């Protein structure tokens, strides 16, 4: 139920997601998540894993000298939360340090299942706070991406979780490219997204060309409505159009056209959903 002030019109709940900035409330929510992470790691592990994370950020993110990290009497430099509360860093740099922290945690999780679960909980907490505060970003896998609703997130996560290595590689790369800051590589992200569809269709039919592969799916018992097949044929034609610059040299240098974030996001979600649809059709 809406709060008193919202029900009686004193304030209006925002319908616009916060993007390309970071409010104090969002900074505090992320810092609190780091606080919880710190306390949990210190309580459950003999070695100071959180200190190792801070040292990693000190040397690999801030590019500071190793020995300068350590102070007297066992103290060490606090990195993550100081960067988040600092006015010297841009909003996307603060997301960078958050993403770098998560990637480090999952790398450590490859050696310790408990740390992997801790990383899962940390990213879940961050996503919960971002949703609560209407922040237009979420963790998907280990990448922070701008997504507009949970259905889009679910489509991409399902594709990553249920696909084979080749499809997952293309989708993971598409995520990385769209999430680059301050500006993503949208043409290349679109190319990787459609490549994932090509791969899943090729694995079923043996056809390299997506158009022919879609035609051959019915022979493999995968029946797709003609209108849907036509729609994806047109999306494939779009990625091959010289004016889009997706599979060709970028055309914006000549004043023609350059794909935007919105198109890259649309293709990422649409291609993920189509791969999930094909998996559902063949019972995977």
Read off the pLDDT band of 2 (50, 70, 90): low
CA angle 27, 29, 35 (to 5 degrees): 105
In our burial notation (b when 16+ CB lie closer than 10 A, e otherwise), range 14-30 reads: eeebbeeebeeebbebb
pLDDT of residue 232: 85
18, β-bridge pairs: 135
Indicate the average pLDDT of the chain. Answer: 85
DSSP letter for each residue of 160-218: HHHS-HHHHHHHHHHHHHHT-SSS--HHHHHHHHHHHHHHHHHHHH--SSHHHHHHHGG
- Segment 154-167 mean pLDDT: 88
Which are the contacts of 156, defined by CB distance < 8 A and separation ≥ 6? 140, 147, 171, 175, 268, 269, 272
Read off the pLDDT band of 243 (50, 70, 90): low
Read off the pLDDT band of 16 (50, 70, 90): very low
Read off the pLDDT band of 108 (50, 70, 90): very high
Q: Which residue bears the tokens 């094909």?
A: 278
- Segment 104-132 mean pLDDT: 94
- Spell out the domain ranges in the chain: 14-146, 160-281
Q: In this predicted model, what pLDDT tens digit does every residue of 223-236 receive, in sequence order?
A: 888 888 888 888 88
pTM: 0.71
């Amino acid at each position: 139920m809406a709060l008193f002030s919202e029900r009686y019109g004193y304030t209006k709940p925002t319908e616009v997601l916060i993007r390309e900035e970071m409010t104090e409330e969002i900074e505090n929510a992320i810092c609190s998540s780091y606080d919880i992470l710190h306390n949990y790691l210190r309580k459950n592990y003999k070695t100071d894993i959180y200190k190792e994370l801070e040292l990693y950020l000190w040397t690999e993110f801030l590019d500071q000298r190793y020995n300068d990290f350590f102070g007297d009497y066992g103290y060490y430099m606090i990195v993550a939360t100081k960067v988040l509360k600092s006015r010297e860093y841009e909003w996307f740099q603060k997301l960078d340090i958050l993403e770098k922290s998560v990637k480090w945690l999952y790398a450590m999780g490859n050696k310790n299942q408990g740390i992997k679960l801790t990383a899962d909980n940390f990213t879940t907490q961050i996503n919960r706070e971002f949703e609560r505060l209407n922040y237009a970003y979420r963790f998907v896998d280990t990448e922070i991406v701008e997504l507009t609703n949970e259905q889009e997130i679910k489509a991409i996560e399902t594709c990553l979780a249920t696909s084979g290595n080749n499809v997952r590689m293309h989708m993971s790369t598409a995520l990385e490219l769209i999430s680059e800051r301050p500006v993503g590589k949208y043409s290349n992200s679109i190319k990787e997204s459609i490549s994932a569809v090509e791969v899943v269709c090729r694995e079923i039919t043996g056809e390299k060309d997506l158009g022919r592969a879609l035609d051959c799916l019915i022979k493999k018992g995968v029946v797709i409505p003609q209108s849907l097949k036509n729609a994806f044929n047109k999306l494939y034609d779009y990625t091959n159009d010289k004016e889009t610059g997706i599979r060709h040299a970028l055309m914006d240098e000549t004043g023609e056209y350059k794909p935007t974030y919105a198109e890259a996001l649309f293709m990422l979600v649409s291609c993920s959903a189509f791969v999930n649809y094909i998996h559902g059709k063949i019972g995977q």
